[in-house]
Copies of this chain bind each other. A is one copy, B any other.
Amino acid sequence: MVHADASNFAEGVTKEQAYTQVLLQAEGLFDGQRNWVCNLANTASLLWHAYKSLPSPSRQVNWAGFYTLDPQKKGASPQQQLVLGPFQGKVACQTIAFGRGVCGAAAATRTTQLVPDVEQFPGHIACDGDSRSEIVVPIVTGEGDERRLVAIIDVDCADLNGFDEVDKKYLEQLAELLAKGCDW
């Protein structure tokens, strides 16, 4: 198979079907390949092309990608920050402090942030003034006391209410797949 074919999503499928294809393709791509940069880069491409195959608001997604725990700031908790990882879309903020904005909140609380209107979110960081709604899902590895945040999935939409519980469900499954499928 030519790899680019993995980015081809049929028109007219449901969001559930598109996400199911993303998960299946991602699982296939991660088989035998645990490099996190490589896997996040291909996953950003899968997500981007899945959204573009769907009707609005999903089609209005204007950024899909990742931030990872900044290796320069792995020390004490107050200094922790995220650093930009692979993505598709326009140029993005390079670092985000834990707790700051939607991404920082997801990282600090390790819980998905589903934000129907970013302007209503306290401390929202406007990397792109076109973004109106956002979903951020933490990627957490390890068990028990060893649990640690390694990255977040971040998707922005130029429409309000771009994301719902379906996005949350499937992106959380994707986060789990990435947590287990990469060497962090």
Band of interface residues on A: 35 or more
Partner of A3, one of B6, B8, B41, B92: B92
| Cβ–Cβ < 8 Å partners of A83 in chain B | 35, 37-38
Does A159 sit at the interface, judged by CB under 8 A?
no
CA distance A94 to B86 in the complex (A): 14
List residues of chain A with CB under 8 Å of any chain B CB. Answer: 2-8, 25, 29, 33, 35, 37-38, 41-42, 45-46, 49, 63, 65, 68, 70-72, 83-95, 126-130
Show 26 residue pairs from A and B whose CB-CB distance is below 8 angstroms, ordered by the A residue.
Answer: A2-B126, A2-B127, A2-B129, A3-B92, A3-B128, A4-B91, A4-B129, A6-B90, A8-B90, A29-B91, A33-B94, A35-B83, A35-B84, A37-B84, A37-B85, A38-B85, A38-B94, A41-B84, A41-B92, A42-B84, A42-B94, A45-B87, A45-B92, A49-B91, A86-B86, A86-B87
